Amino acid sequence: MFNRTTMSVVSAQIAAMKVALFEVGAYKPSADSLNATPEMFLRTWDQAALSRSINWLRLQNLKGRNIYIRPRGEHPLTLLDDLTAEAIEKMKSEGFDPAVVVETSAGNFQAWVHHGEVLPKKLSTRAAKILANRFGGDPSSADWRHFGRLAGFTNRKDKYRDGRGLFPFVKLIDANGRVYPGAREFLSELRTACQLADRRLQAFPYRVASVHPHRLRTISDFRSKPEYQNDGNRVDLAYAIYALSHGISEDEVRATIASRDLSHKGNTQRQLDYVNRTVQKASVTVQDRSSER
């Protein structure tokens, strides 16, 4: 795929997503220790800046980094990940025509649906979970700000390397940019469901745990595991990966990690840096694990 083709594919995808700002990540899994900086280069660009940066992204892709994209801040899109071709057709037949469809590997697709209005974070995450469940998407990728792949670059997962040592390109299948026909009805039903859930929560505030059919593990559970050998760094990272993959917010994970004595890390700022670094590494690990495409 020549650079001109990459330019046209990227331009088509970002135009169809119809947002002002993007966060673009160039991520390469690292086997380094916990305290190493995760190899995620994260940039915030508008469409013009992103287009000017394609050569830099191609270089990072050649160096082994996967190229991801998501809207910056609250936005009107929902990403459905790890879909089959049959799921895409089902979406269309039920009025959820995607604005963007990307084939991340042979027979594996991501779809961005456009709601026609910016959704607040809570509503956006609820929409993602409902749609992922409805169309068989990856539930661990169902939230308001998950990364999708940017078409025009190679999928650098080792399992996709062919006998010649080459990786497949992420393909742009569709980029119509349209709001799906059922948007107004779906959002109305979604808001009603959220209002009812909020009322139930206010009436029964101590039944929040019932959202999870099984008790989620706490950081204490990880601290008691012999395989971590009382290594606080390993415990914190393992817990953070587990918690984020089970829908616990980053802020809550940070607070939990900070609950132990971190004075050996240095002053307050150094302690905060350690907590943020751990959560960031856990976040990109969860992202990488969920990107089986």
Q: Where are the domains of the chain?
A: 3-192, 219-288
pLDDT at residue number 197: 66
pLDDT at 269: 78
Contact 280, 257 (CB under 8 A): no
Token pair in block for residue 75:
């936005």
Q: How many CB atoms lie within 10 A of CB 60?
A: 22
Do 219-288 and 3-192 fall under one CATH topology?
no
Provide the pLDDT for residue 89.
Answer: 97
- Under DSSP, the state recorded for 265 is G
pLDDT number for residue 2:
38
Structure tokens at 108: 């594996």
CA distance 194 to 200: 10
Segments of the chain scoring below 50 in pLDDT: 1-2, 31-33, 35, 204-214
Q: How far apart are CA 89 and CA 290, in angstroms?
A: 23
Predicted local distance difference test score (pLDDT) of residue 17: 98
pTM of the model: 0.69
**Burial tier of 259 (Cβ tally within 10 Å: 0-12, 13-18, 19+):** exposed
Predicted pLDDT of residue 85: 97
Report the pLDDT value the prediction gives residue 212, as an integer from 0 to 100.
Answer: 43
Supply the pLDDT for residue 286: 84
Topology given in CATH for the domain delimited by 219-288: 1.10.1240
Note the pLDDT of residue 230.
82
Q: What distances in angstroms separate CA 273 from CA 29, 98, 166, 172, 257, one per listed residue?
A: 21, 39, 38, 38, 12
- What pLDDT shows up at residue 109? 97
CATH number for the domain running over 3-192: 3.30.70.1790
Q: What is the pLDDT of residue 200?
A: 57
Q: How many other C-beta atoms lie within 10 A of the C-beta of residue 181? A: 13
d(CA 238, CA 236): 6
The residues, any chain, with a CB within 8 Å of residue 28's CB and separated by 6 or more, are 39, 63, 64, 65, 66, 156
Residue type, 269: Q
- Give the span between the Cα atoms of 72 and 80, in whole angstroms: 17
**Where in the chain does DSSP place strands (E)?**
21-27, 40-46, 66-71, 75-83, 100-105, 108-119, 148-149, 171-175
